[in-house]
Amino acid sequence: MPVMLRDRMLPPAQEDTLTRLREARRAFLRGADPGGIVRPEILRSWYRSSLAGVSPTAQLQLHQGPTFEVDGLLFRAARPVIRTLLDDFTDAQVWIQLLNKSGQIIGRWVTSDFYEEMLQGICEIGSIVEEDVVGTTVLSTVLEEGRPMKVWGPEHYNDSLGLLSGAGAPIVHPGTGVVQGAISVGCDLTVPLGLVSSLVNQAARDIGSALMMGRSRADRELLDAYLRVERRGPRRPVIAINSRMRLSNMEALDRDIYPSQADLWEMVQAAASENASTGTAIREVQTPRGQRLAVRPVFSGRELVGGLIQLSGKPSVREQVQAPQSSIRHSTAKGHSSAAPGWLSGLRSEVERILKTAPSCLVYGAQHVGKYTLSRRVLEALGFAVLTCEAAELVNGVLAMSDEAGPTTPVCLIVRHLEAVPEDQLPTLERSLNRAARRFTLLVGTYRVAPVEGELPSWLEANFDAYLRVPSVSEMPQDVPALVADILEVHVADLDTVIDGDALRMLQERSLPGNVEQLERVLFRARALSGDRPITSADLPPKPRTQSRARRLTPLERVERDAIAAVLLTHGGNKVAAAQELELSRSTFYRRLSQLGLA
């Protein structure tokens, strides 16, 4: 019999999961093995609840805590954020709870009379939420684990919560790193927890930001930029600065020999001027005391709102690279990854400039352009021990350190195929990337951008400090000879011994949508045909014929084409914003662009 929840029915797959979780919980309470369906963090909470003597069947009863300030700093910081969060749940029946750092409920917002009645006498304002009293719940386990949590149905320790679910996150003061409280959203089993979790995590970050400083737009823009760097972990001291304030992480506070606030702000202004004239995103400065500073101005539109300064004491491996005095944040590589050392020579200085000041880098481009090989070759040449994992493995926690790296060897992790992670797992991926960034000297990710897309998702930009685009083979015809030499395993100077000039020119002029992999297939086939003699144009496959006549659009398609073109014009060509306004998924939107001749 399907499980009915407020006139809605669970899909068969979720109903099956619900049944298996109930069986696992019953097995745990009997003292048996619950099996692998129970997530590790939930199982840990069940063990803690059991050891604390929490009853899985008793009626929930929370005791009142001490008197608290009704309109305190945390509540004031959270109130506007929660109003926005409620707007996101306009069509869903949910309740939101706010806890202070003592685990006391200081705010509750409910969108339905049903939940208002259900919560009365249980989760009242002023109640203390403790795992050793109520067992596994969203808020109690968030505070116990100190990280975002999702609890779905039978994952609750108490029977009375078995038809509810929710997501919560700790509220962390970004300046001190101290947990100031927690926020949660509760709902029924049919509400997708992936979406809820993403919204709650963002709300917790926004509340932390509001605690940090005033709510002026300029200060928030600077704080957001600071947090994006600081969340990568404490590999370097970081300072955020503007004309009025100076914010440092713990690593920067441990050192008291940095230039004065006025001097640092002057450096930021100089970097901003250089950015305006040359487009350089990061300016490297050496102080009279020999400190190396990477200064990056932070803009809101064209307005300078502050700057980020990353510092280092002793030179790191990246800092020992003899890079130019300027670095870049966005870049396009001038060669391909599947190349011999001669091929990579044009790339190396450019990639080194990025790796010198960026603790994490996203390498992106079309399929089979060699994003991974480029990253690995350059990193190994720089002296890194390189570990590799698939993005899906990182999400699932499958990651181990290499025994090959010595105690002083810097280790880089390359996370491949970020585009393969489903949207509902992106919050988990972001947390995994942040953990990996704290664990490794350098983090590199690869992401395949389809030719028709060409834009990076916002979540990617928020999780990497720098970006490197690897161009397709067709964009770099002048470099095709070096790539051919690498594939055929000869020196460029000896290329005429394995392929004649006409065949080489033909390859340079050919469209290769499959990039390096397609070029390899073409050359291996040609080599098989040519035998011991050099490859000629006759050994290459003929050029594919292109259709000269485009399909005529129907009247309805012409109307759709004009409507999409108008929306694109409104958003200045921003495809992501246009797709959102038209309420189309990105894949559907890009497909329609191609079908309507707008790609």
Q: What percent of the chain has pLDDT over 70?
A: 78
Lowest-confidence region among 225-234, 356-365, 576-585: 225-234
Q: What is the pLDDT of residue 327?
A: 33
> Which whole number is the average pLDDT over 255-274?
77
pLDDT greater than 80 at residue 17 = yes
Residues sharing a CB contact under 8 Å with residue 295, sequence separation 6 or more, in sequence order: 267, 268, 270, 271, 282, 283, 284, 285, 307, 308, 309
pLDDT in tens, 510-523: 877 777 778 888 88
What is the model's pLDDT at position 586?
76
Task: Please state, rounded to an integer, the average pLDDT across all residues of the chain.
Answer: 77
Sequence spans of domains, the chain: 12-214, 217-311, 342-471, 555-596
Query: Does the predicted model carry a pTM greater than 0.75?
Result: no
**Following CA atoms 36, 37, 39, 44 in sequence, which dihedral angle do they give, to the nearest 10 degrees?**
-60
3-state secondary structure of 307: strand
Question: Residue 232 has what pLDDT?
Answer: 58
Alpha helices for 396-478 (secondary structure H):
426-439, 458-463
User: 12-214 belongs to which homologous superfamily?
Assistant: GAF domain (3.30.450.40)
pLDDT band at 323 (very low <50, low <70, confident <90, very high): very low
**Residue 440, token pair as written in the block:** 């490794």
* Residue with tokens 């996370």, as numbered in its chain: 415
Q: Dihedrals φ, ψ of 411, to 5°? A: -115, 130
| pLDDT at res. 115 | 81
Mean pLDDT of 161-167: 90
Confidence at 148, pLDDT banded by 50, 70, 90: very high
Q: Say whether pLDDT at 330 is over 60.
A: no
For 207-248, write each residue's pLDDT tens digit. Answer: 888 886 554 566 777 877 787 776 655 456 788 888 777 777
Rounded CA separation 445/460 (Å): 10
d(CA 67, CA 345): 68
What is the dihedral angle through the alpha carbons of 586, 588, 592, 598, rounded to the nearest 10 degrees? 10
Rounded mean pLDDT of 25-51? Answer: 91
Query: Per CATH, which fold does 555-596 belong to?
Result: Arc Repressor Mutant, subunit A (1.10.10)
Q: How confident is the model at residue 524 (pLDDT cuts 50, 70, 90)?
A: confident
Please state which CATH number belongs to domain 217-311.
3.30.450
pLDDT at 344 over 50: no
Question: Which residues touch 596 (CB under 8 Å, ≥6 apart)?
Answer: 553, 557, 560, 561, 564
**Counting every residue, how long is the chain?**
599
DSSP SS3 for 31 = coil
pLDDT of residue 544: 60
Crossing angle for the helix pair 480-487 and 515-530, to the nearest 10 degrees? 60
Point out the least confidently predicted range of 94-108, 230-244, 365-379, 425-439. Answer: 230-244
* 330-332: strand order across its sheet: 330-332, 466-469, 360-365, 442-448, 411-416, 385-390
Domains 12-214 and 555-596 share a fold: no
Residue 348 is predicted with a pLDDT of: 60
Bridge partners, 448 (sequence order): 365
Average pLDDT over residues 573-583: 79
Q: Which fold has domain 342-471?
A: Rossmann fold (3.40.50)
Total Cβ atoms within 10 A of residue 133: 19
The pair of three-digit structure tokens given for residue 34, joined into one six-digit string = 């619950």
* Cα 140 from Cα 99, distance rounded (Å): 10
Q: Residue 453's pLDDT band (boundaries 50, 70, 90)? A: low
**Beta-bridge partner residues of 386:** 412
The token duo for 58 is 């008793």
| Whole-number Å distance between alpha carbons of 502 and 261 | 63
